[in-house]
Amino acid sequence: MNRRLGLCLLAAAFAAAALHTADAAAQTTFRMNVSIPQNSHYGVAVDAFAAEVEKRTAGRYKIRNFYASALGDEREATEAVQLGTLDMVMTSTGPIPNFVPEVAILDIPFLFRDTAHARATLDGPIGQEMLKKFEPKGFKALAWGENGFRHMTNSKRPVNAPADLSGLKMRTMQNPVHIQAYKGFGIIPTPMAISEVFTALQQGTVDGQENPISVIKGQKFDQVQKYLTLTGHVYSPAVVLMNKGTWEKIPAADRQAFMESVKVLVAANRKRIDDDERDGVAYLREKGMQVIADVDRTKYQEVLTPVFAEFAKKFGQANIDRIRNYK
């Protein structure tokens, strides 16, 4: 009897080991890239997403996150997702018009009244229609995230009015709408990846840059920039992308788990943005930046009147007004 019991226990142990091996083999790991550090509004978002996916799928799926452009800058990582050599990316819309041109309309300066307007637009029919435009290009767009409203910094002089921007060499995203608008201000735009910006500012290759408070703080630009002007000139969305073929291989029930999990990502992303917007300007002041907070945005918009006319021809005034007037 004891020998038989021992054999049964041994068989059970082998069965359990085999089951554990099968479970381990069944786990699917996806790699996801973000362009900024882990302690950022992207980092906290993708980490929350990874934890939620693993929980909702009982460990069948694992998201392995890579930070600070470890798997390429935003354009490189987006292209890798399109090709299927990378599974996922959370990226700004900076490089996206190179893949999905219709998204460029979101980068028009002064398009959104405030954060609530931007979030409502992207969460509503306009934003959801736009997410579908990614599918013919090889992506599954899971959700909109955000970076916040962009502001100007530089190391040369305080920018108290649009004329003060003239002649400044400014880093911009690799985004044709931004570049066209900044030329309208008299800026000399210099497109480059975010991973290169700190060194370019430090070495004087460019005089300044423009980014939301969360990015200025997270990238420690206060160490290489003296002046900050709260222009709020562009709302900067982000988007969470997966390779379309990869998405289509996930069973329907697990796809639903991913869609529920991405809601957690968006909530974490927005909370960090809100926290940074509330506390970030004071933080940057403490770090020695001179902040110009009293900004007449109507003057900046007036300077861009000829550029807005070009955007109306390119995107259609009705399409612009649909976003601008959304409630």
The helix/strand/coil state of 148 is strand
Confidence (pLDDT) at 119? 98
Q: Which two tokens stand for residue 269?
A: 């992303």
d(C-alpha 263, C-alpha 58), whole Å: 18
**Beta strands, E only, 9-138:** 28-33, 61-66, 88-92
> What does DSSP say about strands 88-92 and 290-292: parallel, antiparallel, or unpaired?
unpaired
Q: How confident is the model at residue 113 (pLDDT cuts 50, 70, 90)?
A: very high
| Inter-residue contact 56 to 1 (CB < 8 Å) | no
Domain of 183 in residue numbering reads as 2-324
What DSSP character marks residue 102? G
d(C-alpha 254, C-alpha 240), whole Å: 17
What is the CATH number for 246? 3.40.190.170
**Domain tally, the chain:** 1
d(C-alpha 187, C-alpha 247), whole Å: 41
Rounded to 10 degrees, what is the CA torsion of 141, 142, 147, 148?
100
In terms of C-beta distances under 8 Å and separation of at least 24 residues, what long-range contacts does 44-48 make, across chains too?
44/268, 44/269, 44/272, 45/90, 45/145, 45/265, 45/266, 45/268, 45/269, 45/272, 46/90, 46/265, 47/268, 48/264, 48/265, 48/267, 48/268
d(C-alpha 140, C-alpha 244), whole Å: 5
Q: Which of 56, 75, 73, 233 is nearest to 159 (CA)?
A: 233
pLDDT at 116 over 60: yes
- Measure Cα distances from 263 to 143, 148, 266 in Å: 8, 18, 5
pLDDT digits (tens, 9 = 90+) for 177-218: 999 999 999 999 999 999 999 999 999 999 999 999 999 998
Confidence (pLDDT) at 178? 93
Q: Which of 119, 97, 122 is nearest to 178 (CA)?
A: 97
Q: The whole model's pTM is what?
A: 0.88
Q: Which two tokens stand for residue 220?
A: 């420690």
| Inter-residue contact 33 to 242 (CB < 8 Å) | no
Q: How confident is the model at residue 9 (pLDDT cuts 50, 70, 90)?
A: very low
Q: How confident is the model at residue 14 (pLDDT cuts 50, 70, 90)?
A: very low
| Inter-residue contact 90 to 240 (CB < 8 Å) | yes
